[in-house]
Chain A
Amino acid sequence: MDYKKFDDAALLRLIARTQEQALGELYDRYRRLVYSMALNATGDAGLAEEITQDVFLRVWNKAETYRPEQGKVVTWLSSIARYRSIDLLRRQAIRPEGNRAAWAEEGNSLPSDGPDIEGEVVISQRRQIVRKAIDQLPTEQGQALAYAYFQGYSHSEIAEALHEPLGTVKTRIRLGMQKLRHLLQEEKPSDG
């Protein structure tokens, strides 16, 4: 059976029926997403590998809990990877530095392995738009957002890590998100 022809939701249904090849195909599609999320959160390749294993095994054991109406598979996987990473950081009391480099530079993309060429083109375009928007943020805003998104730090924790006043951090997060929203809305793909 050619598993590449299945969409993500179909793959998860097959995984729920213990089709190992479907898990392999899902891994091929999203290995970089999951591993990179973990690596950007922990800054440690060993921990990132451990989290990546954990995420895909979780998918293997919990595929039946995925509900398409709650969002795309890629969003589900991102969430699992992000929360597993943050959870591990908290459990092991690891406090990595928020790294502005967690955000990719515009134009710096790995080639895709996805089966859907047309869909990949759309995603690739959107990826460039989001990266361009992040690039336009002041460095300190991008760094504050990286602390919050990848490491799961709160306002207070970011302020402590950066040795900045709490109010300054709150403002950076708010302005950064507002600017991103504005920039991405300008580039929103039309439905028609």
Chain B
Amino acid sequence: MSEEHVLDYLPAYALECLDEEDELRVAEHLASCQTCQLELQAYQGLVEELPLAMTEREPPAGLKEKILQRARESKGHVATLPGTPRQGWLVRLRAVPVWSALSLVLVLVLGGSNLLLWGRLNTLENQSRNHLMTILLQGTSATPDATGLMVVSLDGSHGTLVVDRLPVLGQTQQYQLWLIRDGKRTSGGVFSVDEKGYKSLYVKSPEPLVSYSAFGITVEPKGGSPAPTGDKVLGGEL
């Protein structure tokens, strides 16, 4: 892979078919390279058009009625009064879209303490541009200086986690990202931080990232755990 850029890997990255090791390297490079970010956007636009080229088939007759019947029976859907927005102000405030959000990663690296102010400024400046979505992760009482950011892709399917100022753990422990929905926690990856407490991690899950309601990071035994066992160090809601 080129030291300068990862251009040859971007077609496969957009198609999400890179093997894990390559995927991580590309994600790390992308976090701080605007040239490659722009190239990636071009390929992601191409991937979005691929459904136009697929062979189309008619679903079986009667499928629509089955779906509507199941929708009627669905108990998870609570009716809302007409005109009542379904999203609370907190959700909208935290799921702030920012243009070129990956450049925020660079800002994190250079000066994590400016993160909050930077994010607010960009929110105001770029409300009309609306590209990537970011979710701020805040430290807990055990890690008040720690900060993190989840940058979610345009289609909401994958993202990059960046953390800074997390304590360096011993060799028997690692941090683990949890994707949270309806109280259920799914592992989003296991990682260690460098000597400054910094790490960027490519995050891909079976379900689109935007389908989760919150993200949390805990301290776990090396290699991770099936479910959280240790102290929570960062968390944020979508």
Contact = CB atoms under 8 A, between A and B. Distances in A.
Interface of A: 16-18, 20, 23-24, 27-28, 31-37, 39-40, 45, 48-49, 52-53, 56-57, 60-62, 64-65, 67, 69-71, 74-76, 78-80, 83, 86-87, 90-91, 101-104, 108-110, 123, 126-127, 130-131, 133-134, 145, 147-150, 152-156, 158, 170, 173-174, 176-178, 180-181, 184
Contact of B12 (A18, A27, A61, A155): A155
B71 interface: yes
Nearest to B129: A69
> Nearest 9 CB-CB pairs, A to B?
A177-B11, A69-B130, A64-B86, A148-B17, A35-B59, A104-B55, A87-B206, A130-B52, A127-B52
A23 B54 contact: no
Given A24-B64, A70-B155, A83 B18 contact: no
Interface footprint category on B: 35 or more
B63 A52 contact: yes
A12 B53 CA distance: 25
Contacts of A104: 53-56
B155 A75 contact: yes
Contact of B17 (A35, A49, A154, A181): A154
Contacts of A27: 64, 67-68
Interface string B119-147: 00000000000110100000000000000
A36 B12 contact: no
6 contacts: A23-B71, A36-B54, A45-B60, A53-B67, A155-B12, A177-B14
A39 B57 contact: yes
A12 B133 CA distance: 20
A83 B48 contact: no
A90 B47 CA distance: 21
A126 B52 contact: yes
Given A24-B64, A31-B59, A70-B210, 9 more contacts: A18-B80, A33-B56, A35-B59, A52-B67, A61-B77, A69-B131, A71-B155, A155-B17, A155-B19
Contacts of B74: 57, 60-61
Contact of B211 (A57, A62, A75, A181): A62
Q: Please classify the interface of chain A as helix (H, G, I), strand (E, B), loop, or mixed, using the class held by over half of its residues.
A: helix
B157 interface: yes
Contacts of B210: 65, 67, 70
A53 B63 contact: yes
A70 B151 CA distance: 13
A147 B16 CA distance: 11
A43 to B, nearest CB: 11
A104 to B, nearest CB: 4
Interface in B167-221: 206-208, 210-211
B68 A154 contact: no
Given A33-B51, A53-B66, A177 B12 contact: yes
A38 to B, nearest CB: 9
Contacts of A24: 64, 68
Contacts of B76: 61
Contact of A49 (B18, B19, B60): B60
B49 interface: yes
Contact of B15 (A28, A34, A36, A148): A148
Nearest to A144: B17
A78 B57 contact: no
A69 B156 CA distance: 11
Contacts of A150: 54
A35 B97 CA distance: 31
B46 interface: yes
Given A32-B57, A148-B17, A155-B17, A170 B157 contact: no
Contacts of A158: 17
A178 B67 contact: no
